[in-house]
Structures are given as structure tokens and as C-alpha cells.
């Protein structure tokens, strides 16, 4: 990346940088709490068949979830974040969450398990990348979740 620097001569000698190529962007924060569309519900049912089947068998109603979107792998396509809000999919305070990567014509059928987190929590997609996927942090947690190549694993910052 090439940068061109210019100093403006003023009594305070202010310097500014003009970036010629490349952009710097801040970490994105999302709250996956939107109602899913019919396409998102169908993608979630395909990718998480056993979760939905178990909810219907044990709880006698379909599992419910909320949705959010972010680009986890930097391909420019918004990936689907699934955050269950069904009692079967939640522990004492936190619920299971998954990511389905965007693929040609929809979403992957191979879910990526994300950390358990409470309803209406924020997910921060950090600028740092490991093995092709952005690192994640939930709310103001001291843990950062890094992609190992096969799963997200948490560690202290």
C-alpha cells in the first residue's frame, strides 16, 4: 500500500496523511436479532436439520432463531448469523449461534458453530484475520474468538 503524506504548515504544524491506495475500516458490530426471511429459515433448516428436528420432537414446536449478516471471510458477500432463541438451544443465559457462509445461490449447508452468547448481544467483527476468517468478540468480552481453520476458539485478548 502506498501512502502520500502532506504537512500543512500552520502555526501548529498540523500533518495529515492522504491515502492513495487501500482503505482502513473500523471493526463492524452487529446484533443478530432480526426476524429471519423465508430464505434464511430454509437455509438454517437445511444446515441445522438435527437442531430443528430435536426441537420439534422434544419441544413440540419449531426452533426459533433471529438473524444477522456480516462478511466473516472477506469475500464481499454477507454471511448469515443464526442466533437461536429457543429454550432447547439455550443454556442458563446464553444461546447457540451459528454462521452460514454465503455461497453462489444461497448459503452453505456446513454450519460454523459460534460462541454461546445472550439474546440481543452484540458481535464485533474485528479487522484481524486468522486462516481467512475475521476474529470475533461478543459485547465487551475480554475473549477474542479466532478461526483455527476448522472452528472458532476463544482466548483472552
Q: Would you state the cell numbers that stand for residue 37, as one nine-digit string?
A: 426471511
Tens of pLDDT along 68-123? 999 999 999 999 999 988 766 676 778 889 999 999 999 999 999 998 888 888 99
Q: Which residue has the higher pLDDT, 133 or 156?
A: 133
pLDDT, position 59: 66
pLDDT of residue 51: 80
Mean pLDDT in residue range 119-129: 91
- Is the pLDDT assigned to residue 25 strictly greater than 60? no
In this prediction, residue 79 carries a pLDDT of 98
pLDDT band per the 50, 70, 90 thresholds, residue 41: very high
Q: What is the pLDDT of residue 21?
A: 31
Selected residue with higher pLDDT from 25 and 118: 118
- The SS3 assignment for 78 reads coil
Rg (CA), the chain: 20
Amino acid at each position: 500500500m502506498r501512502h502520500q503524506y502532506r504537512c500543512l504548515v500552520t502555526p501548529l504544524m498540523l500533518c495529515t496523511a492522504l491515502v492513495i491506495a487501500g482503505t482502513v475500516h473500523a471493526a463492524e458490530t452487529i446484533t443478530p436479532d432480526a426476524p429471519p426471511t423465508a430464505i434464511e429459515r430454509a437455509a438454517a433448516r437445511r444446515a441445522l436439520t438435527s437442531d430443528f428436528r430435536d426441537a420439534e420432537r422434544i419441544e413440540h414446536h419449531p426452533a426459533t432463531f433471529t438473524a444477522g449478516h456480516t462478511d466473516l471471510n472477506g469475500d464481499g458477500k454477507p454471511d448469515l448469523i443464526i442466533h437461536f432463541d429457543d429454550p432447547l438451544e439455550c443454556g442458563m443465559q446464553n444461546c447457540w449461534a451459528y454462521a452460514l457462509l454465503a455461497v453462489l445461490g444461497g448459503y452453505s449447508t456446513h454450519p460454523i458453530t459460534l460462541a454461546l452468547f445472550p439474546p440481543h448481544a452484540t458481535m464485533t467483527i474485528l479487522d484481524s484475520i486468522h486462516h481467512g476468517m475475521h476474529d470475533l468478540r461478543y459485547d465487551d468480552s475480554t475473549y477474542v474468538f479466532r478461526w483455527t481453520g476448522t472452528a472458532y476458539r476463544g482466548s483472552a485478548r
